[in-house]
């Protein structure tokens, strides 16, 4: 009977029971690189600039728009306005044979400053925000924040702004009510307990010397002017993002997990980036996308619905075939995180079909919600292909679904890729506390996602 059970029944196993010491060491080494990247990449712009540094070190060169079709083994990258990045390694087969594309996103939930953010109330200085992406607002109060971004000036130049990352820098906070006086607040639902307009960032308290009104506001603006040469009006054309100031750390006594901000989806972005940087002349051209704007629907010129993708692929084809011919033969892994089973909240998951920490890279046949609405729903053939590909490469993987039926759901860039007539499937790292200021992943799953991405490029 045991033999029959072994033969007929699918029995997923914890990844740590499936890997040897050498692989554990490889996993640790990979995760050190990932943690360093995550620590340095706090915004989509920084995720792109850090990735470019790594790509250049690995021999990638800026795309030469007039160079014709990509050559076998040629390594190129193209930055879409500094907020999204596309990389490619030329395959031995021409672009007409299609390409293998892996698409992750590098934008994460955060607090964006409004365009006219600065004000003073009761002699305290604040910056107003409009949150970006899906957040539980109460999680963003009373935690240390940093400010990252750019102020674009009328003369065409831009000033890069980073405050709070350096250990000697000040940081910021959104305050919350003390429990002693929170009786009314505590009666509200968690959705209403902290309102969006109350997510104002405390930035100063000392008034400018002299007489008059708004002296704290003036003092704050004067400090910004000293450090960056900008005025209040320049903030109108700024993109400033307040992000959690936590360092990326190992979690657990066994150090088996990683805690940090922005792991959705920089954990998959790094996995496919690390994979393409190690890819040499694959069978079919390898393409890596670090997309922007996924958290707000993938719209916008740097999002995955943008024709910037067509523009890039057209350059790789160099007139040797049409885009449609190339797309039709291509294969996409939409690399995005999924929800891990949280034993503290098992009621939102259906245990047989939920991702678990340490069970490897999670394949999602479909995302969406309420009857798969909004999903691209990969074909059975594609799931089989990924099973084979991962098994052949020794990748620990699991099949999963985000939440139980009618509990909610989520989306990725998969549908934007499928819309282009590219066979697409979701695969990524299971995450605990997704979209929180401090997200948790398992090292083994991060490493196995990288192995999966590498195997997909290698197979071509």
Q: Which residues of the chain form contacts with Mn ion (CB under 5 A)?
A: 264-265, 336
Nearest distance, CB of residue 268 and Mn ion, angstroms:
8
Bond into 41 cis (ω within 30): no
In whole angstroms, the minimum distance from the beta carbon of 108 to Mn ion comes to 7
Beta-carbon contacts of residue 371 (< 8 Å; ≥ 6 apart):
none
Q: Are 212 and 223 in contact (CB under 8 A)?
A: no
Q: Which is nearer to Mn ion, 265 or 445 (CB)?
A: 265
Q: Rounded to whole angstroms, how far apart are CA atoms 324 and 344?
A: 47
Q: Which is nearer to Mn ion, 218 or 267 (CB)?
A: 267
Of 102 and 336, nearer to Mn ion (C-beta) is 336
Residue 426 to residue 337: CA distance in whole angstroms: 9
237 versus 369: smaller Cβ distance to Mn ion: 369
Minimal distance, residue 413 CB to Mn ion, in Å: 9
First to last CA, the chain: 40
Give Cα separations from 202 to 217, 241, 396, 441 (angstroms): 11, 14, 45, 31
DSSP assignment letter at 72: T
Residue nearest Mn ion, Cβ-based: 265
| Closer to Mn ion by Cβ: residue 50 or 265 | 265
Find residue 111's DSSP bridge partners.
131, 242
366: left (phi over 0), alpha (psi -120 to 50) or beta: beta
- 266 token code pair: 């920089």
Q: How far is the CB of 280 from Mn ion (least distance, A)?
A: 29
Neighbour count for residue 395 (Cβ, 10 Å):
24
CB of 359 to Mn ion, least distance (A): 19
Smallest separation (angstroms) from Mn ion to the CB of 434: 6
Nearest residue (CB) to Mn ion, 106 versus 218: 106
CA torsion sign, 455 to 334 to 375 to 448? positive
Nearest distance from C-beta of residue 77 to Mn ion, angstroms? 22
Nearest residue (CB) to Mn ion, 151 versus 258: 258
């Amino acid at each position: 009977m045991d033999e029959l059970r072994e033969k007929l029944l699918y029995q997923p196993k914890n990844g740590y029971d499936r890997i040897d010491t050498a692989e554990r060491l490889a996993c640790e080494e990979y995760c050190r690189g990932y943690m360093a990247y995550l620590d340095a990449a706090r915004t989509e712009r920084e995720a792109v600039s850090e990735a470019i540094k790594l790509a250049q070190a690995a021999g990638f060169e800026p795309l030469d728009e007039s160079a014709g079709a990509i050559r076998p083994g040629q390594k190129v990258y193209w930055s879409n306005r500094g907020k999204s990045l596309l990389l490619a390694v030329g395959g031995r087969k021409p672009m007409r044979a299609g390409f293998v594309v892996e698409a992750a996103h590098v934008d994460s939930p955060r607090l964006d400053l409004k365009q006219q953010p600065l004000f003073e109330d009761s002699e305290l200085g604040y910056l107003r925000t409009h949150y970006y992406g899906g957040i539980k607002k109460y999680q963003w109060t009373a935690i240390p924040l940093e400010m990252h971004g750019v102020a674009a000036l009328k003369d065409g130049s831009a000033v890069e702004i980073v405050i709070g990352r350096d250990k000697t820098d000040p940081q910021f906070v959104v305050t919350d009510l003390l429990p002693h006086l929170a009786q009314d607040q505590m009666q509200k639902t968690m959705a209403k307990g902290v309102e969006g307009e109350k997510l104002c960032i405390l930035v100063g308290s000392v008034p400018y010397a002299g007489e008059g009104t708004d002296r704290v506001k003036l003092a704050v603006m004067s400090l910004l002017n000293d450090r960056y040469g900008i005025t209040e009006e320049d903030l109108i054309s700024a993109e400033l993002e307040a992000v959690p100031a936590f360092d990326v750390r190992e979690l657990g006594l066994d150090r088996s997990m990683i805690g940090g901000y922005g792991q959705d989806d920089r954990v998959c972005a790094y996995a496919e980036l690390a994979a393409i940087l190690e890819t040499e002349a694959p069978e079919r051209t390898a393409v890596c996308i670090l997309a922007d704007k996924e958290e707000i629907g993938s719209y916008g010129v740097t999002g995955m619905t943008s024709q910037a993708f067509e523009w890039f692929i057209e350059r790789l084809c160099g007139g040797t075939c049409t885009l449609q011919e190339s797309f039709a033969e291509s294969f996409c892994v939409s690399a995005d995180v999924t929800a891990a089973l949280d034993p503290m909240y098992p009621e939102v998951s259906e245990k047989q079909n939920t991702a678990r920490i340490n069970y490897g890279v999670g394949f999602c046949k479909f995302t969406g919600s309420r009857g798969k609405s909004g999903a691209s729903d990969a074909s059975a053939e594609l799931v089989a292909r990924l099973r084979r590909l991962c098994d052949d490469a020794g990748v620990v993987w699991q099949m999963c679904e985000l939440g139980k039926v009618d509990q909610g759901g989520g989306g990725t860039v998969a549908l934007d890729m499928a819309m282009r007539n590219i066979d697409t499937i979701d695969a990524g790292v299971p995450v605990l506390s997704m979209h929180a200021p401090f997200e948790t992943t398992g090292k083994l799953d991060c490493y196995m996602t990288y192995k999966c991405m590498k195997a997909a490029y290698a197979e071509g």
